[in-house]
Structure 1
Amino acid sequence: MANPWTGEVALTINGERRVLKLTLGALAELEQELDTRSLVELVQRFEGGGYSSGDVMALIVAGLRGGGSDVTRADVMHAEIEGGPLAGARAAAELLARAFMVPGGA
């Protein structure tokens, strides 16, 4: 079960419910892979709806790794996400939001 208070997001991949989380290491890897100047830039892309499928894929891979799974981009590229691309995009956006959520904050 995913714990939103610790930044976790659940996503069903290949019929298996998985926990995704953006740890500091996963965030650093994500920033480098997406060649962004900052994670704020990536958050702004999601908030403005200007994200790409590559952004979603990178976030899911980083979240799976941060959640303890040893996966590669190729593993996720060939995976079936329950709910399709829209569910993947929602999970990616939730990951970003929860990574920067202040407990007890508004």
Structure 2
Amino acid sequence: MVNRLRGEISAMLDGREWTLVLTLGALAELEAAFAVEDLNGLVERFGSGRLSARDLVRVLGAGLRGAGHVVSDDQVAAMRAPGGAPGYAAIAADLLRVTFGTGEAGEEDAGARP
């Protein structure tokens, strides 16, 4: 079971339930991928609300790797999410919300399940 207070979410990808979390290492990976200097740079980048498909792959990949899954971005790009592109966006939004937002216990995993 995921612990949203620790920034974990659950998401369905390829018909399998996965745990995602943006650990410090995963956040450092995203800082490098998005060429920002610090966490504030990530917050500004994600706060714009404009994420490309490549951005979604990077965020989901970092979250999966942060949770201990051994997956490449190419493997993440080939995964299917319920609801297609909006499903991927909902998973990424939920992951970013629990990482940078409240992540309160008892919240539903918005968009993470079919």
| Total equivalences in the alignment | 104
Aligned: 1:18 with 2:34: no
The Cα offsets for residues 64-85 of structure 1, whole Å up to 9 and x where unpaired, read as 0011100001111111112211
* TM-score w.r.t. length of structure 2: 0.79
Q: Distance in 1 between matches of 2:46 and 2:54?
A: 12
Scaled by the length of structure 1, what TM-score is found?
A: 0.84
Measured on the aligned residues, the alpha-carbon RMSD in Å equals 1.9
Q: Where in structure 1 do 4 or more consecutive aligned residues deviate above 3 Å?
A: 101-104
**How far apart are the structure 2 equivalents of 1:100 and 1:30?**
14
Give unmatched runs, 5+ long, in structure 2: 105-114
Q: Which secondary structure does the structure 1 equivalent of 2:43 belong to?
A: helix
Give structure 1 stretches of 5+ with no counterpart.
none
* 1:1-106 correspondence to structure 2 within 5 Å: 1-101=1-101
